[in-house]
Chain A
Amino acid sequence: MRLCFEEGTLVLRDYADQEIPSPFVWDARVDLYRAQAHFYRESMAFFRARNLVVDNAAPRYRTLDLSLGQTPALHPHQRESIDAWEQHRRRGIVVLPTGAGKSLVALHAIHSVQRSALIVVPTIDLMNQWYDLLTQSFSCPVGLLGGGYHELAALTVSTYDSAYMHMERYGNRFGLLVYDEVHHLPGEMYSHSAEMSIAPYRLGLTATIERADGRHVLLDALVGPIAYEKGIRPLSGEYLSEYRIERRQVDMVAEERVAYEAARQTYRDFLEEKNIRMGTQNGWRRFVQLSSNSSAGRRAMLAYRTHRQLALGTTAKLRVLEDIFKAHPRDRVLVFANDNQTVYQIARQFLVPAITHQTRTKERKHILEKFNRGDYLALVTSKVLNEGVNMPEANVAVVLSGSATIREHVQRLGRILRRRQGKRAVLYEVVSANTIEERMSQQRSRHEAYGARNEDEPAA
């Protein structure tokens, strides 16, 4: 009997009535026993326990001889994470806040397993950053899968999208899977990548494991249980920088205010006429429905979008931004804006580099390096830098606009919290007064990290 990896599954070839592990089921379409690839470790344990002779043709990953180069000393919480993960038979999830050094935990895990490894990340930026980190830490070739690259090596970095697309081909090439920001994994599509891989060893990293859709419960089967967890407050000050938050309210410039009120009136009139209440669950759905049925509805929808866009009050905010730049002429300032249009408007007005999803790998790397060296003092970006991009030198963050999601906001905050001696970080939040944006700001502040300002819960 031969155990083979085929298209993201395990199949038994030359089968002759032997005892087989329970994950295998008969596939009448091709007359073979087949199992999901992630049952590889369990299946091998089954064969071994019964002393069954199986020609194991499935794995094509290698044992490595990696030595970990110069890396920072481990903090206690990092040491504990690695120990806990190893005790969970090298299958499990480590939950630590952004900035607490999850990447270092992963490096030690890779070193501990010594097998070909795939590191899966949500964005191209993170892919580039992991590429740099792995190249620096281990002297071995590092491959890339995604963002226009398609090359495998002993250590390979991939996006979630590419892992989903290609795991049916490469699912037997890795002995270790590292999922960065592992809360992305349980999605309907992405979960395939964990199921189509035979990797016996798996590590998941995240700051917030919960998903609104509740699918995080699947992580246990896909990666393993939570092996270690520590929240943001216990670490602040000791291992992260101290930080303070300054909120700036701006009044829209007169022309924008006029246009804002006009657009608001247009869509509100339509809602009133059709008797739609936006607060209710069906309200939004009905609005979308009606807006595609008539020209009046279509105009109302366009007005609604315009008013959302104007609520951001970009013109007035850019004046505040200029003041912040003037107040921090020698600091390293990161500016976040919600949409690319504003990002490029800022880049053109202040002649500072921008990073968006359109920025290519080489230039992105170049900009980040220059920013960290101080050859650029400011950097403006949209959502793409939200998760875990390493910028130890940044000490001022300006949130000019953003969606109402909490995770995004905390991650932005985490950006400037990398620990450095004597560093004191400032987070500016610039909000348009008397617009819907005020409510979005309140929503995104509702998190443990903003404990002192949270009205719903007592401060920690």
Chain B
Amino acid sequence: MARILGGIGASHAPSMEHVYDAGEDVRRNEEWEPLFGPFQQVSEWLAELRPDRLLVIYNDHMDEFFLNAYPTFALGVAEEYPIADEGFGARPFPPLPGDAALGWHIARALVADEFDPTICQELEVDHGVISPLPMVDFAEGNGQWRIPVVPLAVNVILHPLPTPRRCYKLGQALRRAILSYPEDLGVVVVGTGGLSHQLTGPRFGRVTPEWDREFMRLLAEDPEALCAYKHEDLIKLGGTESVEVVNWLAMRGALPREARPIVEAYYPHKIMGYGLQAFAAAT
């Protein structure tokens, strides 16, 4: 039977891609060490843990899905996931390896649990997946991704959005989906996005570190408390685009209640509250 080995909450942002692509010297300079140092710790932890799969809960930014038909939850069931061209040419990474069999199992398990995702045999992933992923997985030397992924996209763009509580319950259903998979696989669940940021209107660039830190504390210690927040609350506390944090809540729902962070970092910088939180969860 498959097992859940842990979880990772991580911001995603084009800025993280620019820094990563600029090379090791820039990643570990004074400006970026506060974020990329902890990413390195997570990378080392994962290398030791050796998960067989990553289940990545993220949101697309109109790079795969568009307003003609916007899915609330969309699940990848493909053998590989090409990198999307977000309007500047695709980043030069090979496609992410997938696991179609696991994807289809999760699709059936979610439907059995009364979650009904859009099922995607083709899916291009954008910075919602690949801005944090190279820091934890990409084997830079040989240019190959190490760990196959199953991506799950959550609508955080076109209101009405699935509620925070619904996303937490989705995580719980994903947990049952993984635990019921017959193959002996170790899975790490990743949730990406946030934390505070505001990209539109007169509050452009506003970051709210106090709330971000409180969010991370609650996520670790009392995730059910976050289920009571409405999107309206999250927008007021962290900005319009900060509602992406529901992806972290879904990740947390897949972990045991008593899981605690083993790596934790928060770095408010320029227009983003960058967060990183890794949980060990031996089940």
Say whether A and B bind each other.
no
A interface residue numbers (CB < 8 A to B): none
